[in-house]
Chain A
C-alpha cells in the first residue's frame, strides 16, 4: 500500500482521464443507436443491413481500431477523439441491436391506439414508443456502459492515459499494487456509471417503479 499512498494524485488524474474517455462514447452511442434502432425496427428493408453492419464492428479487435480510426478520421493517435470514436463504434455495435429489439417490443395495438388518439409520427416516437422501449433500451445501455469502461484500458497499450496506464506501468515496474488498484477502480467506475444509468432511468421512467413495486 506504500505505492498507493505515494501515488494518490496520479491515480486521481488517471481516473479523471478514464472518465473523460468513457462517458462520451456511452452517451454518443445512445444518441446514434436510438434512431438507427428505430429505423431497423420499423423497416424490414433496413433491419438486416443495419444489424449486420453494426454487428460486424464488434468482430474487429479493439487495438487495431485505435490505429485505424485516426488514419480514417484524421485525428492524432493520442487524441481523446480517437478513443471516443472507436468506443462509440463498439457501443453502437451492441446498442443498435438492443434499440431495435426495444422498439420491436412496443406492442402494435399501442401504436394503433396512439395513432387513433391523434399522435403525429414524431409525437408517437417521443411520447409513446421511446418511453415504452425504455426498459429494454436500458438493459442494453448498461451492458455498453460496463464494457466501454473496461475497454478504455486497452488504450494504455498504445500510450493513451487511463486507468489502464496503471496496468502497463505496474507491469513494467513490477508493482502488483498498481495493477490491482487499476482493476479495482475500473470495476468501481463501471459499477458507478451503471448505477447512474439505473438512477437516470428511474427518474425518466417513474412508472417502472410502480410496476416493480406492485
Chain B
C-alpha cells in the first residue's frame, strides 16, 4: 500500500508536470501515438473485414491470420523491427499495428457477418445495389460490433504502447522504464496508473459510442442486442 501512496504522491508532485519530461507531454505522446496506430489499423482492417463479411470469401484465411497474429509476441516484433529499422517510432508502430489489426479485422468481419441474411435479402429485393446494401444496411447494423473491435484494439495498444519506450523517446513508457531500471518504483507505478487511467477513459468513451451505435442499429429490438453482444464478446478478447 505504501508503494501506491508514494506513486500517487509522485503523480501529484507538480515537479513531474513541468520541464522536458512533463507528464502532460508524455500523456499526449502516448495518446497520439496510440490513436495513429488504431486509426491505421481501422483504415486497413475495417474495409478488408467488411468485404470478407459481405462476400464470405477469404473467411478461413482471415480466421487463421487473426488467430496467428494474436499469438505473435509484441516484444519479439519490436526487437526484430528495431534491429531492421533503427530507433524511433517506426518499429513500435509496426509492432503495435500487428497487435491492433486482429481485433479490428475480426470486429468488422464478425459484425457484417452477423447481420441477418434475411435483412440483406430484403434490401436486395427492394432494388438496392451491393454498394448501397453495404453502406446503408450492413455497416450501420454491424457498427456496434465493429466499434467493439476498435475498442478492444485501442485498449491493448494503449497498455502495450509502453513498450515503445524500449527503443524510442516517447510516451508513458519512458517514466515506466526509467523508474523500473533505477528502482524509483513510485515513478514506475505512477506512470502505470496513468496508463491504466488512459485505458479506462478511452474504454468509457468507446462504451458510450458503442451503445449509441447499438441504439441506432436496433431502435426497437431489445432481444437482438443479446446476439450482438455475444458477437462482441467473441471478438473483444
Contacts and interface: CB of A to CB of B under 8 A. Distances in A.
A97 B188 CA distance: 29
Nearest to B161: A61
Interface stretch (A118-126, A162-170, A199-207): A162-170
Contacts of B180: 63-64, 67, 158
Give 7 nearest A-B pairs by CB, closest first.
A190-B71, A64-B192, A59-B199, A143-B237, A183-B76, A171-B79, A153-B73
Secondary structure type dominating chain A contacts: helix
Contact of B3 (A63, A68, A187): A68
Interface string A88-112: 0000001001100100010000000
Interface stretch (A8-16, A27-35, A38-46, A174-182): A174-182
A156 B75 CA distance: 9
A164 B200 contact: no
Interface of B: 3, 67-68, 70-80, 82-83, 155, 159-160, 162-163, 166, 176-177, 180, 185, 188-189, 191-192, 195-196, 199-200, 203, 230, 233-234, 237
A67 B75 contact: no
A179 B68 CA distance: 17
B73 A164 contact: yes
Which of B76, B180, B203 has the most C-beta atoms of chain A within 10 angstroms of its own C-beta?
Answer: B76
Contacts of A150: 70-74
Contacts of A196: none
B200 to A, nearest CB: 6
Interface residues of A, number: 48
A101 B228 CA distance: 13
Contacts of B78: 167
A180 to B, nearest CB: 6
B201 to A, nearest CB: 10
A179 B167 CA distance: 16
B119 to A, nearest CB: 24
Contact of B234 (A61, A65, A139, A164): A139
Contact of B79 (A68, A101, A143, A168): A168
Given A58-B155, A61-B192, A68-B189, A164 B203 contact: no
Contact of A174 (B68, B70, B83, B159): B83
Nearest to A139: B234
Nearest to B203: A59
20 contacts: A61-B176, A61-B192, A64-B191, A64-B192, A68-B3, A71-B185, A98-B233, A140-B237, A147-B70, A150-B70, A150-B74, A153-B75, A156-B75, A167-B78, A170-B80, A170-B83, A171-B79, A176-B83, A186-B71, A191-B68
